[in-house]
A and B are shown apart, each in its own frame.
Chain A
Amino acid sequence: MYDIKALYEAESVKDAIRLLQEHPEAQVLAGGSDVLVQIREGRRAGCEFVSIYMLDELRGVSIDGEENIRIGSLTSFSHITNDPVIQKYINVLGEAVDMVGGPQIRAIGTIGGNTCNGVTSADSASTLMAWDAVIELTGPEGARRVPIKDFYIKAKVVDIKPGEIQTAILIPKESYENCFGHYIKYSMRNALDIATTGCSVNIVLSSDKKTFERVRIGYGVASPIPVRAPHAEEFINGKKITEKNIKKFAETVLEDINPRDSWRAGKALRQHISVVMAERALRDCVEQAGGKVDG
């Protein structure tokens, strides 16, 4: 039995918004793999919750009218990994969320919850950052869209206004077209562990496959919130695919990231693996895109 003061079950998105307005103290409960555990720990004991888990309208992946990839916020990690649209256009996201927890956690955990908890170690977050995802929030005044870099405000705080819920995550066409990505999670165990640091890189090569046209890199646990490495990106864009450029790119990420010492790992270790991961992930992307490292 959970220590829950009251549970309000939403029957539609509209109903969920109404319930949140009626019960301003209530917190949103999606898959519960974080929230229920935190109730058990006492951190959220005795609170009121609005459960949105039964809203199947928020599940599934599709291509919408504007050619965005639209991921319903309640889509579970396992369904994202097995989805044909994800596998075709943004396979790296399916691979990244396949590293969350264990199989049973991936069956219940939702991508909406993974972003709304505002945690830097979320396995989906660095990839969504690196693909310029757009967060769709629906509230009393209707839906609004926020770029993911603005959605994260600070550790555990995201841009959700009272009465709002996250309804979808969108990947715009200009972001996923001709783009190849790779995610590396560094953790102590292969399963049921949280990333010491995670790194997600994606690239678009020039048509002759000799130049980096666009490189984007996102990190988890390299800052209080998931971040990009703008200096590294700026350096490599438009450069030839060479050993020297790849190395310089990886070293430049240190100008952008700010990992901390924690009981999981020290700052120095995180800085070191961040550089190594940037290089390895970029090489993997080059290979996927059919490019070759020259000289």
Chain B
Amino acid sequence: MAKQYKVVHCKVNGKEIEQVVDVRSSLTDMLRNDLHLTSVKKGCEVGECGACTVIINGEGFNSCIYLAVWAEGKEIWTLEGITGPNGELSDIQQAFVDEGAIQCGFCTPGFIMTSWEIVNSGREYTDDELRKALSGHLCRCTGYENIFRAVKKTMLRRLGKDKEAEMVNSQGITEYPEPMPFK
């Protein structure tokens, strides 16, 4: 069978893209090899580790088990798209740095894209909901606590709850101060 190619039109990180792809490519292949967006990591390539996570039409997907041709007409965001114009870190990225949520860094772009979806939702997740929302990612370095804390603090800050964000302890639990003793 002759090789099959197709032109895909989509919006990636706010820019209109027209790209010729081999129909056998995954979206990870297209983003990395054709568009040079190498934050999209090739991890397990079977939808288990979450390292290739990108946001498609507002929802997080594993780009490794998504055909590039399915990107037609979609709006896609990768880590490169959420930094400032001169590469300044966004609040969620800075929180990962501050909380020590990065060690080797391989899972980080995927984790940050899911976290970005969470903090952009404008919703306050409970601790259990947060853990569930992050459960599609594997990290073999950090033990997840630092990541959880970075996401929780950013979520609270985005909701204008800076004080509560300061009360999140090292285990990620919000520690409210003891009520003032009655005098």
Chain A contact residues, CB within 8 Å of chain B: 1-7, 9, 32-33, 36-37, 40-41, 51, 53-54, 78, 101-105, 107-108, 190-192
Contacts and interface: CB of A to CB of B under 8 A. Distances in A.
26 contacts: A1-B24, A1-B29, A2-B67, A4-B23, A7-B4, A7-B24, A7-B67, A32-B66, A33-B47, A36-B47, A37-B47, A37-B65, A40-B46, A51-B69, A101-B47, A103-B60, A103-B114, A103-B132, A104-B114, A107-B61, A108-B62, A191-B132, A191-B135, A191-B136, A192-B48, A192-B136
B53 interface: yes
Given A6-B1, A7-B24, A104 B50 contact: yes
Contacts of B53: 104
A22 to B, nearest CB: 14
Contact of A192 (B24, B29, B61, B135): B135
B4 A6 contact: yes
Contacts of A108: 47, 61-62, 65-66
A4 B24 contact: yes
B133 interface: yes
A36 B69 CA distance: 14
Nearest to B138: A192
Interface of B: 1, 4, 22-26, 29, 45-48, 50, 53, 56, 59-62, 65-67, 69-70, 72, 114, 132-133, 135-137
Contacts, number: 84
B6 to A, nearest CB: 8
- Which 8 pairs from chain A and chain B are nearest by CB? A102-B136, A191-B135, A7-B23, A104-B62, A104-B136, A103-B136, A36-B65, A37-B46
A105 B70 contact: no
B26 A9 contact: no
Nearest to B60: A104
Residue from B22, B23, B48 having most chain A Cβ neighbours under 10 A: B23
Contacts of A190: 132, 135
B24 A40 contact: no
In this complex, which of B53, B65, B133 has the most chain A Cβ atoms within 10 angstroms of its Cβ?
Answer: B65
A40 B45 contact: yes
Contacts of A41: 46
In terms of DSSP, what is the predominant structure of the interface of chain A?
A: mixed
A102 B65 contact: no
Nearest to A1: B24
Contacts of B61: 104, 107-108
Given A102-B50, A105-B62, A105-B136, A32 B1 contact: no
A54 B62 contact: no
Given A32-B65, A51-B67, A102-B135, A107 B26 contact: no
Give the one of A1, A9, A40, A104 with max B CB within 10 A: A104
A2 B26 contact: yes
Contacts of A102: 50, 135-137
A7 B132 CA distance: 35
A53 B136 contact: no
Most chain B beta carbons < 10 A, residue from A3, A37, A78? A37
Contacts of A105: 47, 62, 136
Nearest to B29: A1
Contacts of A2: 24-26, 67
Contact of A1 (B22, B69, B114, B135): B22
Contacts of B45: 40
A54 B70 contact: yes
A29 to B, nearest CB: 8
A241 B61 CA distance: 45
Nearest to A9: B69
B1 to A, nearest CB: 5
A6 B50 CA distance: 27
